[in-house]
Amino acid sequence: MMTLIVAIGAQNAFVLRQGLRRQAVAKVVAVCAVSDAILVAVGVAGFGAVVKAFPQAITVAAVVGGVFLLGYGFLAARRAFKPQSMNVQATGSGRPVLTALALTWLNPHVYLDTLLLLGSIAAGRWLFGVGAVTASVTWFVALGFGARLLSPLFAKPRAWRVLDGLIAAVMTALGVALIAGW
C-alpha cells in the first residue's frame, strides 16, 4: 500500500519541489492529503465494482495517464536543461495550490493508484482505507516539510538539474509503461 503512495509521480515530485522552494507547502500538502483521502474513500466504497462493469475505462485511464505523465516528463526534462538555483523566498500561494489541484484531479495516474488499485484491494475494508489515508497524510507532510532539510544541496543549479532529470526519466518510463501495457 505504501509503495503506491510513496512512488514518485507528478504529484509527489511537485510536493518535493514546493518543499524545497518553501512555497505554499502547508497548502500544497493539505490539498494533496485531502484529495487522496477523498479518492481512497471513494475507492474503498466500491468504485472497483463500477470499473469491473466498464473495463474499457481502465484502458482509457491508462492511455490518458500515460500521455499526462509523458507531458510532465517533458516539462521536467526542459527544466533540467534550464536549471535555476532554489528561490527560498515565499511567494504567492495561488498558483502552487492550483497546480497541486491539477496534478491531483487531472492526473489519471492518481485515479489508477487510489481508485482502482487501492480500491480493489480495500473494497469495503474501511480500516484498510484509514491506514491508506494515514500513510498518505504522513507521506505528504514528511515530503513537503522534510524537503527543507535538502535546501543547502538544492541551492546549486546542478542539483535541480539532477532532480529534474530523474523526474523526467521516471515520468517518461511510467508514461510509456502505462501506454504500452494497455
Q: What is the mean pLDDT of the chain?
A: 82
Q: What is the pLDDT of residue 88?
A: 47
Mean pLDDT of 104-123: 77
Q: What percent of the chain has pLDDT over 90?
A: 24
Domain ranges of the chain: 2-181
At 18-33, the pLDDT tens digits run: 999 899 999 999 999 9
Q: Closest Cα partner for 27 from 40, 39, 15?
A: 15
- 8 Å CB contact between 76 and 167: yes
Q: What is the pLDDT of residue 90?
A: 47
Q: What percent of the chain has pLDDT over 70?
A: 87
What is the 8-class DSSP label of residue 89?
S
Q: What is the pLDDT of residue 47?
A: 75
Q: How many helices (DSSP H) and strands (DSSP E) are in the chain?
A: 10, 0
Residue 48's pLDDT band, with cuts at 50, 70 and 90, is: low
At 80-92, the pLDDT tens digits run: 888 655 554 444 5
- The region, left, alpha or beta by phi > 0 then psi within -120 to 50, assigned to residue 83 is beta
